[in-house]
Chain A
Amino acid sequence: MIDYEKAVTRAVREIRPSGIRKFFDIAAEMDDVISLSIGEPDFVTPWHIREAGIASLERGMTHYTSNAGLIELRQAICDYMRRRFKLQYEEDELIVTVGGSEAIDIAIRTLVGPGDEVLIPEPSFVCYDPITRMAGGRATPIVTRAEDDFRLTAQQLKAAITPGTKLLILPYPNNPTGAVMRREDLEAIADVLRDTDIFVLSDEIYAELTYGARHVSIASIEGMRERTIVVNGFSKAFAMTGWRLGFLAGPRPLVKAMLKVHQFAIMSSPSTSQYAAVEAMTNGDEDVRAMRTDYNRRRKYILEGVRRLGMPCFEPFGAFYIFPSIKDFGMTSDEFCTKLLREQRLAVVPGNAFGQSGEGHIRISYAYSKENLTEALRRLGAFTEKYGK
């Protein structure tokens, strides 16, 4: 008998199982479940972008591209980053990756070795911790607080830094809280980091989805470009999740090193997606703007709706999530979400899925139609009526 459990490396064995797996199983046995749990645009990729992908297939463009990605795509990305975020990169300072996810993976694997410490503001997306551990690094959470609007503060960062700290993850605009870092917040972070050897992995996948002020990248703050890897992609902004395409940009020597990891893991990102992405980068600004306006409508609608039900919720200015508090219900977020699913057939994600610091909250995605949001609010209302104080 082969002991498969033993065959799996310790690092992989120790990755904790998905916190939302069990909700799938419950929901699978139910009809008429309404979901506000998905971190994925409900829009279909704009037609002209899809058409560019189709056209590339028709012309038989089905080969590998260069490892770093199509040169015309990399040029278009450089223009885009300059135009949208005042970031200056050359074509050889970026890699087209399989989603933002691969970019995060190769960046961490390139920078983090055994014993290196990675600081991870939480609540945040779930991948940074396991990737760090698989690389042999130590993942240290920094718990951000609702009273700080879930921003990372300079004091918190300063207090968390140790001699072993190698990398800071900066996941803003944030999933699951919707928090954004303003320029002055980033200036304060930059002041802490400038004279250290710490690098920053700035996960800016939601950069296009900010409401009110435009997103500021930490790489555009003085002295930070040389120590920052910017991760961005097409999934959220251009509604291209299934195309699996993202990119990273950073200092040339680091990107060169990351390209070594990328070429052996991936070879090159999907060609069809890359041709479609050229169109997105070149002619997609208007689509993004229209989708952003729509998300903003829904953001206001769901925020007002949830607050009317008496659930405290800070106003998020980024991504497409709200992160209300459930502290008044006397339940863990896991219990809350399980009951809500069983009794009202409404699916939302418990806050603790994004780190222990998310306990006491639920993540509600508003990447849903207005009708869906209305019905979900009705169900949530029936639930809070029953269990609220």
Chain B
Amino acid sequence: MDKEKLLKLLEKDGDMTLEEIAEQLGADMRDVAAQIDKYKETGVLLGVHAKVDWEKTKREYVTAMIELKVQPTRGHGFDAIAERLVNYPEIKSLYLMSGGYDIWMLIEGRSLREVAMFVAKKIAPMEGVKSTGTHFVLTKYKDEGITFGGRKADTRRLYSYD
């Protein structure tokens, strides 16, 4: 069984049935089930979640990407501050980066003000944070491999034999 492909399939569509996955891999359904269980036990598979296009709902929300420059601590490097940051539910993604800044994170809130206040009150004053840069997202075109913006209109003919 192509295990990498199994994971890629699940990553792309967590909704697939065992039968469908087995068909795509050309593998036995029981082997696929066993391998998925193994991945769950060992923490390779962390969970399955739905991709929501919130733009299409009435929910008021904004997304911002925040760059942080931080002072690494002796012995712990950037881990100490990262381990504090992961606790905030407002922070959806958190990465340690190479380049012009150290930490990159994605924040969601109900309004610009809410996000700005969160950064100003919780993040900026945190020990070790040297500076913050906030960039608000205007439009989401694609996220984790999924294209947003909805289905294109069906331009096919109304009737045909072929």
Residues of chain A touching chain B, judged by Cβ–Cβ distance below 8 Å, are 18, 20, 23-24, 27, 33, 35, 37-40, 42, 44, 125-126, 175-176, 289-290, 293, 296-297, 347, 349, 353-354, 368-369, 372
Q: Which of B152, B157, B159 has the most CB of A within 10 A?
A: B159
The bracket for how many chain B residues form the interface is 10 to 19
Q: With A and B bound together, what is the CA distance between A27 and B151 in angstroms?
A: 23
**B2-23 near A? 1/0 per residue, CB < 8 Å:** 0000000000000010001001
Q: A42-B154, A369-B151 are in contact. Are A37 and B20 (CB under 8 A)?
A: no
Q: With A and B bound together, what is the CA distance between A27 and B154 in angstroms?
A: 16
Q: With A and B bound together, what is the CA distance between A20 and B157 in angstroms?
A: 12
Cβ contact within 8 Å between A349 and B159:
yes
Cβ contact within 8 Å between B20 and A38:
no
- Residues of A near B157 (CB, < 8 A) are 38, 40
CB distance from A215 to the nearest CB of B (A): 14
- Residues of B near A24 (CB, < 8 A) are 158-159
Cβ contact within 8 Å between B161 and A39:
yes
CB distance from B15 to the nearest CB of A (A): 9
Q: With A and B bound together, what is the CA distance between A44 and B16 in angstroms?
A: 21
Which chain B residue has the least Cβ–Cβ distance from A24? B159
- Residues of A near B152 (CB, < 8 A) are 44
- Residues of A near B23 (CB, < 8 A) are 293, 296
Residues of chain B touching chain A, judged by Cβ–Cβ distance below 8 Å, are 16, 20, 23-24, 151-152, 154, 156-162
Q: A293-B16, A369-B151 are in contact. Are A38 and B159 (CB under 8 A)?
A: yes
- Residues of A near B160 (CB, < 8 A) are 20, 37-40, 349
Q: Which of B16, B20, B152, B162 has the most CB of A within 10 A?
A: B162
- Residues of B near A20 (CB, < 8 A) are 159-161
Q: With A and B bound together, what is the CA distance between A197 and B72 in angstroms?
A: 84
Q: Which 10 A-B pairs have the closest CB atoms?
A: A39-B162, A20-B159, A37-B159, A27-B158, A35-B158, A293-B20, A38-B156, A23-B159, A126-B161, A38-B160
Q: With A and B bound together, what is the CA distance between A296 and B16 in angstroms?
A: 12
CB distance from A347 to the nearest CB of B (A): 6
Cβ contact within 8 Å between A296 and B159:
no
Given pairs A18-B161, A347-B159, 20 additional interface contacts (CB within 8 A): A24-B158, A35-B156, A35-B158, A37-B158, A38-B158, A38-B159, A39-B161, A42-B154, A44-B152, A125-B161, A175-B162, A176-B161, A289-B24, A293-B16, A293-B20, A293-B23, A297-B20, A347-B158, A353-B161, A354-B161
